[in-house]
Amino acid sequence: MKNTREKALQIINDVLYKGTFLEESLEILKASNIDERDFSFIKEITTGVVRNKTYLDYVIRQNSKVRFNRIHKIILSILEMAIYQMYFLDKVPDYSIVDESVNLAKIYGNKGSISFTNGILRSISKEKALQVTLKNSIDNLSTYYSHPRFYTEYFYDKYGEEFTKKLLKANNEKPPFTIRVNTLKTNKDELIKDLSEAGFDIEETTYVNALNVLNPNGIIDTEFFEKGHFYVQDLGSILVSTFLNPSKNSKVLDLCAAPGGKTTHLSELMDNTGEIIACDKSKGKIKLIRENAKRLGCTNISPRVNDARVLNEEFINKFDYVLVDAPCSGTGLYRKKPDIKWNKGIDDLKELGVIQLEILNKAKEYVREKGLLLYSTCSLSKIENEDVIENFLKENENFKIKKLRDKDVLKLFPSVDGSDGFSICLLEKINNY
């Protein structure tokens, strides 16, 4: 690619100021037959800037003679890219980073912004990486680790400074590439042997059939993926299905199933017996579930279009197990999708909490007496989890919590469990009244 930095700049600008999603932008770029090294560089720069934006902006504020809100957004992004490379990467000399940034400013700025870009970056390049020295501890952590203040404040108040610091640090690290062994077609030892012989470095995890691949490039192109021997899935997502743990020959409803990771794992746990109805609200999502089920050899899954927010009378009292992996803010996915930090605020969480409770109140009707209802989100917020469950139980005294690891609402943390952030609650329907 002629100018990788210019492409990176365009993606950053689109993500931060036009509402596009970083993951989707990178997927489109990768599909354009870009050189692998160019793609890796652009991914590193774009992800790094989005992940560390608050800290990078702090550095700019401390060094700029121009008021921060008067810096044009595209020039701001150029500066963020440059500082990220100076502070976090060591492949390119600082003088070269300054020159490339000035060249970008010549394309997108004017004479004043070119001079400003050159001056501030040369000044920053002469100093050591700047430490954050804000008086308020929450502001200090939010700035240094680039997290929304409401997120930092919640964990600081509930779990303390040291826990919060470790969580924010873990959220900024590259997530492991985890795969689930599909025991319908192979076993862990066989898959480790096959992938190792194909040149992949494999690391076992705390869950018996989850493996981390240390050098995953090209693994999706292998015959083992094609034959359905594994599914790419985070450890937290894998654990959700194991906590529901449906019996063989049971009837299961996965109410928000796409793309089918948890659905196909449930099928595997049931050894392809019984029946799983896998629902989502669009034909496109149902197509994804069907494709994954076929590749993985899951024959007990019946995908169908269904809106989780609308009562389906056909489902009432029909299922032994119901999984509600509810639509959520994704605040447990900061490692994987750092742009969520900046496009989901506290008001979004409150709106989602209303929707989640609405879905849960439909799902309760589908559970048979003595059946189990599992609620999960890839969010760590109280608003979308503890508050939703508390409000649900107030209205539905015929349900009770079955503790998971001695917790009413189990939390999985990147800093503790090595997984994405998840919240999981298992409910039992005591009776139909």
- 363/361 Cα distance (integer angstroms): 6
Q: Do 293 and 301 form a contact (C-beta atoms < 8 A)?
A: yes
Q: Is 259 annotated as a binding residue?
A: yes
Residue 341's SS3 state is: helix
Q: Is 257 annotated as a binding residue?
A: yes
Q: Is 210 annotated as a binding residue?
A: no
Distance (Å) of CA 192 to CA 106, 189, 198, 212: 51, 5, 10, 10
Q: Is 425 annotated as a binding residue?
A: no
Per the residue annotation, which of 279, 298, 328, 378 is the catalytic one? 378
- 107/74 Cα distance (integer angstroms): 10
Nearest to 317 by CA among 364, 267, 382: 364
User: Has 298 been annotated as catalytic?
Assistant: no
For tokens 């492409």, the residue is 7
Q: Is 262 annotated as a binding residue?
A: yes
Q: Is 307 annotated as a binding residue?
A: yes
- 404/387 Cα distance (integer angstroms): 17
Distance (Å) of CA 129 to CA 38, 83, 89: 26, 9, 12
Q: Is 408 annotated as a binding residue?
A: no
What distance separates the 2 farthest-apart alpha carbons in the chain? 74
Q: Is 285 annotated as a binding residue?
A: no
Q: Which H or E run contains 324?
A: strand 319-325
Between helix 111-125 and helix 94-108 the angle, nearest 10°, is: 160
Binding-site residue set: 256-262, 280, 307, 325
Binding-site residue set for S-adenosyl-L-methionine: 256-262, 280, 307, 325
Q: Which residues are known to be catalytic?
A: 378
